[in-house]
Structure 1
């Protein structure tokens, strides 16, 4: 279940991943059981990169941050 702490963390993580891929996160929000990302990315970037990377990175980081 996602709360405001999770959503803020996801926004931070998404910003970092987007910076790595030269993308621009336009909007990050969500509900209790999922996250919405609206990302603008250059045509040279494969669609799978900005989609899959935030999922893996965020899963790992959220567990690390909230388990401490």
Structure 2
């Protein structure tokens, strides 16, 4: 089970934050938690409500 390197975590955070600004304007923030090979992505609405968006699995390469 490969774990995500710090460089990939940083790149993922940048890409998701940029994507959220253009695609999900109703989100005030995007929060990412890492556990093992998974990244859990939550959104925060302007009123502070949190919503679960997705779980991503690291496959050993940043492109997969």
* TM tier, smaller: 0.5 to 0.7
Number of residue pairs the alignment of both structures matches: 50
Q: What residue number does 2:40 align with?
A: 36
Q: What residue number does 1:14 align with?
A: 16
Structure with bigger strand share is: 2
- Unaligned 5+ runs, structure 2: 57-61
- Unaligned 5+ runs, structure 1: 56-61, 64-68
SS at 1:25 equivalent:
strand
TM-score after normalising by structure 1: 0.52
TM-score after normalising by structure 2: 0.54
Q: CA deviation at 1:24?
A: 2.8
What is the root-mean-square deviation of aligned Cα atoms in Å? 2.8
